[in-house]
């Protein structure tokens, strides 16, 4: 995407990889600011992910509950996962829905993209609405992945956001989109 505000642009001068893991890359860059001064920017590079709003025929949405180690607690989330190199985002969404919930969808709609942590990461999360969702089998979780699958009405999921039970940014954003796409016909 083109930067329409060149007067705000920071120009990279030097980039150093500080850490490289399976999931992310940590970088330290020296940049020139719009006023000509230089400073350092530290940030996380991420290959991107998808989040799936999976609507069952009865209108309920599929969610998963899994332990998130950085928070040291279990979190209620929409199904989601990282985009593998060279994988189309719709393929990722379909794969993650099947792996995490054992469900497949007959109909897919791309809703948009979000950047959850713009101050320190280039991560993007592509948002999909899946309909005609039917159980095809058991979960096929990655090694080290453990989660429960449950379904909630959209109203109950939104109430869980309001009460603070759901705090995950991609899930809150996905539920906002679900409310608009399902109820308001976006």
The one-digit pLDDT tens for each residue of the chain (186 residues) are 567 899 999 999 999 999 999 889 999 999 999 999 999 999 999 999 999 999 999 999 999 999 999 999 999 999 999 999 999 999 999 999 999 999 999 999 999 999 999 999 999 999 999 999 999 988 888 788 899 999 999 999 999 999 999 999 999 999 999 999 888 776
pLDDT for 3:
72
Using CA atoms, how far apart are residues 138 and 118, in angstroms rounded to an integer? 36
Longest dimension (CA), the chain: 58
Assign 167 to helix, strand or coil: coil
The residues facing 82 across adjacent strands are: 49
Assign 111 to helix, strand or coil: strand
pLDDT for 84:
95
pTM: 0.91
Using CA atoms, how far apart are residues 97 and 19, in angstroms rounded to an integer? 30
Using CA atoms, how far apart are residues 54 and 57, in angstroms rounded to an integer? 10
pLDDT for 2:
63
> Does the annotation mark 145 as catalytic?
yes
Q: Across 47-185, where does the E strand assignment appear?
A: 49-56, 61-68, 73-77, 80-82, 103-104, 107-114, 125-135, 147-152
Catalytic residue among 100, 145, 165, 179: 145
pLDDT for 43:
97
In the chain the domains, ranked by start, together with CATH numbers, are 6-45 (no CATH), 49-184 (3.90.79.10)
CB 126 within 8 Å of CB 49: yes
């Amino acid at each position: 995407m083109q930067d329409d505000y060149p007067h705000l642009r920071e120009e990279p001068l030097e980039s150093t990889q500080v850490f490289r893991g399976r999931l992310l890359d940590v970088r330290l860059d020296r940049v020139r600011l719009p006023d000509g001064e230089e400073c350092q920017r530290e940030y996380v590079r991420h290959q991107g992910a998808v989040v799936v709003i999976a609507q069952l025929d009865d209108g309920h949405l599929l969610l998963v509950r899994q332990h998130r180690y950085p928070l040291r607690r279990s979190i209620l989330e929409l199904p989601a996962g990282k985009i593998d190199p060279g994988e189309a985002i719709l393929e990722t969404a379909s794969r993650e829905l099947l792996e995490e919930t054992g469900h497949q969808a007959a109909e897919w709609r791309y809703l948009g993209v979000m950047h959850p942590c713009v101050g320190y990461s280039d991560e993007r999360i592509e948002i999909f609405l899946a309909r005609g969702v039917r159980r095809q089998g058991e979960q096929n979780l990655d090694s080290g992945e453990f989660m429960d699958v449950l379904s909630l009405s959209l109203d109950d999921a939104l109430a869980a956001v309001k009460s603070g039970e759901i705090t995950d940014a991609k899930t809150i954003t996905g539920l906002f989109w679900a409310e608009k796409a399902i109820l308001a016909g976006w």
